[in-house]
Chain A
Amino acid sequence: MVIQGPVDHGRVMMVIAVMTVRENWRNRLPWAVLMVLGAGEILGLFLGSVAVTETEMVQGAVTGAFLRFGAVFLLSVAVIAGMAREFGDRMVEMILALAIPRAVYHLGKLTGFVLTAIPITVVSGLALIPYAPWDQVVLWSLSLGCELVLMAALGVLLVLTLTHVTLALTGAMAVYLLARSASTLVLVASGPFAQVTPMLGKWTLPILEFISWLLPDLGRFTCSEWLAYHTGRWTDMRTVLLETMVTLFFLCGAGLFDLYRKNL
């Protein structure tokens, strides 16, 4: 793609985003997504034959959890592997040698990964249509989209910080699992556990609370209850969107901070 005339940052950002989407497409990401979807459908059929009651609820909850984790894992791998390869091939240095601010590159890449996340979200939601009402599936899909946006931003940040694929992927999965269970950890630490070992409880609880404030409460995102009991409300999306925007702001800030400090 050739850019003529004065450099339009917005246009450059979109070019980087489109190239990122193309790269993911050529990296056979759609095939990997289809494999996860196929496995999810087989799992759903298997659960349908095993469950003796509440069959649709079992299928919806478990298949939804599987697809959610599959989508998060695939997008994280795509983001981290793609970014790491660009660094390895010195592509980043080449792009940054152009007269564009580093923020344009960062936001362009992030936009590309967000655009990549959209079809993953849509097909994951479509796969759940047989098990739950459409409005609950739409809510679940929107929430999954927010989760994927955050994972894309986290992946970019971790590659910029840790620079190694293995480390970055391990870090992304660890942060994801911690963000999903941080609120439970706080509950456990503030319950009977704190009374049995007061000293440990005294130190553990503030640390866990601090971590839970730092991370988005992903336990409220993409809830299986919505698919199983149809309890999702549009008002639930307020919290999800607010958490997404605030965390995205924080992750982008941290990523840009690290990118501007790099000697490239």
Chain B
Amino acid sequence: MIFIGKIYKGRITDRPRSAPPLLTALLVIGVVMQLVLGSLRPPLTATPEDLPPPSPPVLMQLAALGDRVAWSRLLMLWIQNFDNQPGLAIPFRHLDYTRLAGWLETILALDPQSEYPLFVALYLYAGIPDPQRMRIMLDFIHRQFLLDPAKRWRWLAFAAVNARHRLNDTPLALKYLDELALRVEQGKLPQWVLGVRLSILHATGQLESARQLIGGLLYHREVVAPTEIKFLSDWLEKLEADGK
């Protein structure tokens, strides 16, 4: 017996039978027709897509299917990459910032522990030379700070620095810093936040306000650490010297 088939797991099988020539020809024609049809399709044109208005939070909660954290992260990445559409790169200045802030708010509502939306609001979207759009982002950060001052103070402090140095809006920066002092428990804020406030007061000639601020902190013993007392005393001396 001549074995021409291949042995597969102890069984002898025949070689695969060849398909009828007509079927082979039909297969080739099918592939060619598919390729021709593909090449005749109209070329894709990149059309910029506007950011849709944020969906109601209720819908987003339902869409999360019980996993808000993962859903909020996916939404965040979609928003973050919205400026990179197929074949297009949309400048941030062409994005609707009101809608953008709405989406960031929705994402943060889905996962309040995340700091991602605050990070991109400050470092990505507020980083463009467009005062109006920058204000929308800083305002978003301010609103979110009010919802959880203990956890989000850092972002408002950075927003104050941005308002002062990038937006050149000193009153806005001072407003944010005042809110920080008012709403965050003393001792929770690091020295540099107080330093920013003092330097703004100093730079804008509001020496009396700076003196009152330091005097108040020292008088009411809200600062007890020796290093902090020295830090404030140094500032007070500097202010006294400038005031003379």
Closest to B119 in A: A53
A3 to B87: give the CA distance in the assembly, Å.
67
> Which residues from 75 to 98 on chain B have a C-beta closer than 8 Å to any C-beta of chain A?
76-77, 80-81
By a CB distance below 8 angstroms, the chain B residues around A62 are: 70, 73-74
Q: Are A64 and B58 in contact (CB under 8 A)?
A: no
Q: Are B116 and A177 in contact (CB under 8 A)?
A: no
Q: Are B114 and A191 in contact (CB under 8 A)?
A: no
Q: Are B77 and A47 in contact (CB under 8 A)?
A: yes
Minimum distance in angstroms from A82 CB to a CB of chain B: 23
- Contact of B62 with A by CB under 8 A: yes
Q: Are A225 and B69 in contact (CB under 8 A)?
A: yes
Q: Are A185 and B81 in contact (CB under 8 A)?
A: no
By a CB distance below 8 angstroms, the chain A residues around B69 are: 61, 223-225, 228-229
Q: Are A65 and B70 in contact (CB under 8 A)?
A: yes
B interface residues, tally (CB under 8 Å): 24
- Contact of B66 with A by CB under 8 A: yes
With A47-B77, A58-B73 as contacts: A180 and B61 at CB distance below 8 Å: no
Interface residues on A, range: 20 to 34
A199 to B120: give the CA distance in the assembly, Å.
43
A188 CB contact (under 8 Å) in B61, B65, B71: B61
Minimum distance in angstroms from A48 CB to a CB of chain B: 11
A219 to B113: give the CA distance in the assembly, Å.
17
A57 CB contact (under 8 Å) in B66, B71, B114: B114
Closest to A51 in B: B77
A125 to B70: give the CA distance in the assembly, Å.
17
- B69, B71, B74, B80, most chain A CB atoms within 10 A: B69
Minimum distance in angstroms from A41 CB to a CB of chain B: 16
Minimum distance in angstroms from B85 CB to a CB of chain A: 15
- Contact of A193 with B by CB under 8 A: yes
- Contact of B12 with A by CB under 8 A: no
With A53-B115, A65-B67 as contacts: A188 and B120 at CB distance below 8 Å: no
* Interface of chain B: mostly helix, strand, loop or mixed: helix
Minimum distance in angstroms from B72 CB to a CB of chain A: 8
* Interface of chain A: mostly helix, strand, loop or mixed: helix
By a CB distance below 8 angstroms, the chain A residues around B70 are: 61-62, 64-65, 224
- Contact of B124 with A by CB under 8 A: yes
Minimum distance in angstroms from B127 CB to a CB of chain A: 12
With A53-B119, A54-B115 as contacts: A181 and B65 at CB distance below 8 Å: yes
A163 to B71: give the CA distance in the assembly, Å.
34
A58 to B78: give the CA distance in the assembly, Å.
13
- Contact of B64 with A by CB under 8 A: yes
By a CB distance below 8 angstroms, the chain A residues around B67 are: 65, 180, 219, 223-224
- Contact of A52 with B by CB under 8 A: yes
By a CB distance below 8 angstroms, the chain A residues around B123 are: 52
With A58-B77, A62-B74 as contacts: A52 and B66 at CB distance below 8 Å: no
By a CB distance below 8 angstroms, the chain A residues around B114 are: 54, 57, 228
A105 to B120: give the CA distance in the assembly, Å.
57
Other CB < 8 Å A-B pairs besides A58-B73, A58-B76, A58-B77, 11 of them? A51-B77, A53-B115, A53-B119, A64-B70, A184-B61, A184-B66, A188-B58, A192-B58, A223-B67, A224-B69, A228-B73
